[in-house]
Every structure is written in structure tokens, then in C-alpha cells.
Amino acid sequence: MRSILAVLGQAVLYALFAAFVGFFSTRPQYRPLPDAHALVKLSVSHAGALKADCRRRTREELERLPPNMRVPAECPRERSPLVIELALDGRLLHAETAMPSGLARDGAATVYRRFVVPAGTHHIAVRLNDDGRVPGFTHQREADLTLVPGQVLVIDFDSERKEVVLL
């Protein structure tokens, strides 16, 4: 009798263990966004313009260099920081100046931000400057978009076509 009760007790505890695993393996459901909201991702990875143009070295400068390093042109590697602004319905949502990566600041500047916004129609404006020698913004994009609940809008910059893209 005692052994039967022990087996029953074991069965109950194993069942509870399985129920625990089964429950938290699927429940409660996860809601990645609040109801009736969408996600805007501002994700840009772009190497800005060089901060300065190449210039020819003078004869004196060349003579001061070791013979194996006498390259006529000197081209600074450092790139411009990326200045970016994102406005939603006329309100500035984000403004950032991203520095180029790398020790010599010659790599791509990267911006990655997420914004949870109410679903619906919005006016989105993206302004970007990738050349420190040009005042204001070098690239802009504005659009009226209708975001459905759960939609992920990606704002990127196409470095080949030199334009802001909305995906």
C-alpha cells in the first residue's frame, strides 16, 4: 500500500515538473510592442566624406621624409562625423553626431536607435550630414507613411546611391 502511494506521489510530482516546463515554455505570451504601436529603427552605417582633400607635398617636405616614404600627395584619412536628425510629425525625435570608427577615425560612423511610436499616419523627416565641410544637411528625406500595428520601419542610408532609404 505504502509503495503504491509512493509511486502515485512520484507520478504527481513528475507531472507537476512536466507541467511547469510545459507552461513556461509557451506561456505567458510575449508582446514585443504595446497594442497599436509600431517600431521605427534608425539604423545607419556610413563612412562620411574625408575631412580634408589630398594636397601635394612641397619639395622641402619631401626632402625631410625618408626616401622610401616620399609620396607626392598627402591624403588625410580622417572622415567627417555623421550628423543625423530624425523628426516625427514635426517633432525632433532624435539628433546625434556619430563619430567615425577606428583609431584614425577613418571607418564608418554608426547609428542604431529604436523608437516605439503609435501606429497610424506620420510625417517622417530624416536629415543627414556626412561632410563636415558642408554646412547644414547633405541628405534629406521626408515622407508621409502609414504604419500598421507591429510594423517595423527601418531608416537606413544607401552609401552607393547616396540617399536615405525607408525599408
Helix (H, G, I), strand (E, B) or coil at 20: helix
112 exposure class (CB count in 10 Å sphere: 0-12, 13-18, 19+): exposed
Give how many residues touch other proteins by CB under 8 A. Answer: 41
Helix (H, G, I), strand (E, B) or coil at 14: helix
When asked if residue 45 is in the footprint of other proteins (CB under 8 A), the reply is: yes
Tell me how far, at minimum, the Cβ of 112 lies from other proteins, in Å: 5
C-beta neighbour count of 159 within 10 angstroms: 14
Applying the rule CB under 8 A, the residues between 87 and 126 that interact with other proteins are 101, 107-108, 110, 112, 114
When asked if residue 56 is in the footprint of other proteins (CB under 8 A), the reply is: no
What is the DSSP secondary-structure string of 69-89? G--SEE----BPPEEEEEEET
Tell me how far, at minimum, the Cβ of 18 lies from other proteins, in Å: 4
Q: Which residues lie near other proteins (CB under 8 A)?
A: 6, 9-10, 13-15, 17-22, 24-33, 35, 39, 41, 43, 45, 101, 107-108, 110, 112, 114, 148-152, 154, 156, 167
